[in-house]
Amino acid sequence: MKEEFVNYIHNLQDRITTALEEIDGAAKFHEDPWEREEGGGGRTRVIENGAVIEKGGVNISMVHGSLAPAMQDYFGVGDVDFFACGLSLVIHPKNPYAPTVHANWRYFEMYEKDGTLVDSWFGGGQDLTPYYLFKEDAEHFHQVCKNACDAHDPDFYMKFKAKCDAYFYNAHRGEGRGLGGLFFDHCKAEKGRTMEDWYKFVTEVGDSFLDAYLPILKKRKDIAYGEKESTWQQIRRGRYVEFNLVHDKGTLFGLKTNGRIESILMSLPPIVQWKYDHKPDPGSEEEKLLEVLKNPKNWV
């Protein structure tokens, strides 16, 4: 299974970076292969200062070794070895009317020291973080997510949509990071589903990403904007940073397994503001976004 998924994420990285370079039209992804001293490595691809994309990364990693004590406690296991692979991406467009997008698809295994497989599972998802609310964009993104889910189980979309709303939530702010999408984890061979079944589901979601995001990016990338919109974008990016550094389990796992810091923090936007006690004007487009972030909606 791990060889099959490693091949998949290599191919998916190529497809996604090619499509994003085409829509940007100016910047290209810089590729940075790296190795992890404890075992494994990855292929980081970063794009910056483009015509459309201010900063973005589409990274794959395949790491293995002894599970760190902090993560042994987290998983409730003893001294075991692990293998983890996945693709993680974040795209921060330049235009404030174009949403940030995040996605991740991953596979994890744990073994006894003699090589006996202890556990394995898939996880992942994709979610949208706009700075200005366009109802049709939210509906499109969620419809593509639902279509991918419905091909495997009619209960998946609402289940994983709810998990996404709950996970990407800044509890200290009382608001969602964005408009959600899908989030699933610990998808294991149980309750009549095989790991091959989960592989087909996760890869279907991965294959749907470009259909979910590119039409939105194309529609919003050329809308005229000014300093007011850029300032709001930068303030909201601050909330994105807060979530990633305070709550995100993927960031925690990377930092506690001696992960590659440049790849882990690739998700952070390049220009951010924190304004003291900032509140948008009543009835403004900015306030309309906050209302939805505080009260998640069913978009489809």
- Half-sphere exposure at residue 243, Cβ-oriented, CA atoms within 13 angstroms: 22
Residues paired with residue 85 on neighbouring β-strands, in sequence order? 62, 107
DSSP state of 29: P
Query: Of these residues, 64, 92, 102, 140, which one is catalytic?
Result: 102
Q: Count other C-beta atoms under 10 Å from residue 77's C-beta.
A: 15
Reply yes or no on whether 102 is catalytic: yes
Task: Output b/e per residue, 231-256; b: 16+ Cβ within 10 A.
Answer: ebbbbbbebbebbbeebbebbbbbee
Q: To which H or E segment does residue 167 belong? A: helix 156-167
Report residue 53 as tokens. 């994309």
Q: What is the spatial distance between Cα 74 and Cα 282, in angstroms, rounded to a whole number?
A: 43
Decide: 104 and 9 in contact? Cβ < 8 Å: no
Report residue 168 as tokens. 């990407």
Q: What is the spatial distance between Cα 14 and Cα 45, in angstroms, rounded to a whole number?
A: 10
* Angstrom distances, CA of residue 233 to CA of 82, 85, 165, 188, 219: 39, 32, 21, 38, 18
Residue 115 CB partners (closer than 8 Å, separation 6+): none
Active site residues: 102
